[in-house]
């Protein structure tokens, strides 16, 4: 059986994914510990982990609330992604004939096939976004660097949340497929500058779309005073 803090983390994450919590509302740690029938220590551990991963904000004496993305969040996220993903693509291109790169290319091509299948059957944007994230995670994981993996994992929530919003735009899914294919082609060709350029172009487009989407969301969220529950 999982430790209580991991059980609490998984349950809270499931509640977040199912939209149980609302933005601009503070939630009581004490109340949740009673609801979960666990002490506050394992619950606090779970909340701290969620805060580190960017899901929530913890406010002393008030509780916690869902984290609202800021322009600073997006800038930090895209800078980390550019640093890691561009380097990963260049490294893969440099070792284009290695077993590691051949396996990476195969897996990346599989994600494109899966995304096409999702589109063909009119799957949800969430499904497409999850496969899209898999593509990028495969790039970083191909470096086999635990420090990079852990750093990238911290941004998982923000990456998927913003992707689900931007992928709703008409024609964006088709453009993502083309941009992903360009990355694969450059890696297969062993062209380091082209692989760097392809990833950078893709992420800079993503950055602009994220910024536009965030501006729209901020206009919709006019109430900046969280309530308490």
Task: Mark whether 163 and 55 lie in a shared domain.
Answer: no
Task: Mark whether 78 and 145 lie in a shared domain.
Answer: yes
Domain span at residue 77 reads 71-219
What is d(CA 207, CA 205) in angstroms, rounded to the nearest whole number?
5
Question: pLDDT (tens digit, 0 to 9) for every residue of the chain, 229 residues total?
Answer: 789 999 999 999 889 878 898 888 999 998 999 999 999 999 999 999 999 888 899 998 889 999 888 888 888 999 999 999 999 999 999 999 999 999 999 999 999 999 999 999 999 998 999 999 999 999 999 999 999 998 888 787 788 878 888 898 899 999 999 999 999 999 999 999 999 999 999 999 999 998 887 777 666 655 555 555 5
**Distance linking the first and last C-alpha atoms of the chain:** 31
Among residues 32, 67, 102, the one where a domain terminates is: 67
Radius of gyration of the chain (CA): 19
Task: Mark whether 56 and 107 lie in a shared domain.
Answer: no
Question: Considering the entire predicted model, what is its pTM?
Answer: 0.80
Task: Mark whether 9 and 91 lie in a shared domain.
Answer: no
Among residues 67, 95, 112, the one where a domain terminates is: 67
Residues in the chain: 229
User: For residue 125, how far is the Cα from the chain centroid?
Assistant: 14
Among residues 67, 83, 100, the one where a domain terminates is: 67
Task: Mark whether 29 and 120 lie in a shared domain.
Answer: no
Q: Determine, yes or no, domain membership for 80.
A: yes
At residue 223, the pLDDT reads: 52
CATH number assigned to the domain comprising residue 45: 1.10.10.10
Task: Mark whether 23 and 42 lie in a shared domain.
Answer: yes
Task: Mark whether 78 and 57 lie in a shared domain.
Answer: no
Q: Determine, yes or no, domain membership for 228.
A: no
What is d(CA 67, CA 153) in angstroms, rounded to the nearest whole number?
17
CATH number assigned to the domain comprising residue 200: 1.20.120.530
Q: Determine, yes or no, domain membership for 83.
A: yes
At residue 184, the pLDDT reads: 98
Is 131 within 8 Å of 115 (Cβ atoms)? yes
At residue 210, the pLDDT reads: 85
Rounded to whole angstroms, what are the CA distances from 207 to 29, 147, 202, 212? 35, 24, 9, 9
Q: Determine, yes or no, domain membership for 225.
A: no
Q: How many domains does the chain have?
A: 2
What is the full DSSP assignment across 131-163?
HHHHHHHHHHHTT--HHHHHHHHTTHHHHHHHH
Q: Determine, yes or no, domain membership for 224.
A: no
Q: Determine, yes or no, domain membership for 137.
A: yes
């Amino acid at each position: 059986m999982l430790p209580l803090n991991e059980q609490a983390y998984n349950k809270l994450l499931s509640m977040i994914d199912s939209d149980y919590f609302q933005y601009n509302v503070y939630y009581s740690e004490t109340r949740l510990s009673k609801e979960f029938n666990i002490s506050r220590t394992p619950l606090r551990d779970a909340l701290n982990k969620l805060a580190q991963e960017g899901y929530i904000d913890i406010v002393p004496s008030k509780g916690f609330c869902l984290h609202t993305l800021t322009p600073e969040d997006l800038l930090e996220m895209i800078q980390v992604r550019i640093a890691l993903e561009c380097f990963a693509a260049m490294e893969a291109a440099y070792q284009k004939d290695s077993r590691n790169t051949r396996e990476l290319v195969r897996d990346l091509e599989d994600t494109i096939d899966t995304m096409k299948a999702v589109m063909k059957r009119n799957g949800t944007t969430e499904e497409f976004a999850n496969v899209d994230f898999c593509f990028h995670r495969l790039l970083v994981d191909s470096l086999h660097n635990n420090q990079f993996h852990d750093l990238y994992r911290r941004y998982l929530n923000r990456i998927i949340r913003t992707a689900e919003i931007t992928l709703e735009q008409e024609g964006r899914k088709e453009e993502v497929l083309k941009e992903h294919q360009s990355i694969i082609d450059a890696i297969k060709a062993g062209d380091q500058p082209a692989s760097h350029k392809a990833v950078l172009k893709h992420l800079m487009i993503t950055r602009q779309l994220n910024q536009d989407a965030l501006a729209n969301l901020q206009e919709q969220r006019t109430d900046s005073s969280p309530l308490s529950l």
